[in-house]
Amino acid sequence: MPPAPSHHPGLDVAASLVGTPYRYGGSTPRGFDCSGLVYYAYRKAGIRVPRSTRAQYRHAQPIALKYLQPGDLLFFKRTFRSIAHVGIYAGNGRFLHAPSRGRTVSYDSMNDPYWKRRLVAAGRYE
């Protein structure tokens, strides 16, 4: 069950796209990769963000995890590489993202062991 409505316009747009297929390099409702989902949803909400995950990380205002608000971005590492995945915090310990090939835009828990050990930072765009 998705979290309560966010009242964050970027998250609201992204929530309307749940079920959209993952597509590497995708940034349209035909398919999204993780940063493409953020780029599309935030642009539709009038919030300018860069297109790539790393650029979204570099340009975001850093936020301590204890101050997360719905609509903040969560940045993850995969294996030993640098920042390689982004999701949108949805509240109540959940986030919305385009996870990987063969999956769709969906919610996941920040407490899931896979995501918990890979979460490295949070950021905000206003």
Question: What does the pLDDT read at residue 79?
Answer: 74
Question: What does the pLDDT read at residue 78?
Answer: 80
Would you call 59 a catalytic residue per the annotation? no
Would you call 34 a catalytic residue per the annotation? yes
Question: What does the pLDDT read at residue 126?
Answer: 85
Identify whether 119 is part of a domain.
yes
Q: Is the pLDDT of residue 1 over 90?
A: no
- Residue 103 domain boundaries: 9-124
Identify whether 1 is part of a domain.
no
CATH number, domain containing residue 101: 3.90.1720.10
Query: What average pLDDT does the segment 69-90 reach?
Result: 92
Identify whether 51 is part of a domain.
yes
Query: What average pLDDT does the segment 43-64 reach?
Result: 97
pLDDT tier for residue 6 given thresholds of 50, 70 and 90: low
Question: What does the pLDDT read at residue 95?
Answer: 98
Question: What does the pLDDT read at residue 2?
Answer: 47
CB 15 within 8 A of CB 3: no
Identify whether 2 is part of a domain.
no
Identify whether 67 is part of a domain.
yes
pTM of the model: 0.93
User: What would the DSSP string read from start to end of 21-87?
Assistant: BB-TT-EETTEE-HHHHHHHHHHHTT----SSHHHHHHHSEE--GGG--TT-EEEEE-TTSSEEEEE
Dig out the tokens for 113 from the structure. 């062991």
Overall number of domains in the chain: 1
pLDDT tens across 82-101, in order?
899 999 999 999 999 999 99
Write down the catalytic residue from 7, 8, 34, 59: 34
Write down the catalytic residue from 7, 8, 59, 85: 85
pLDDT tens across 14-34, in order?
999 999 999 999 999 999 999
Dig out the tokens for 81 from the structure. 């590489």
Identify whether 98 is part of a domain.
yes
Query: Phi first, then psi: what are they for 41, rounded to 5°?
Result: -65, -45
Would you call 85 a catalytic residue per the annotation? yes
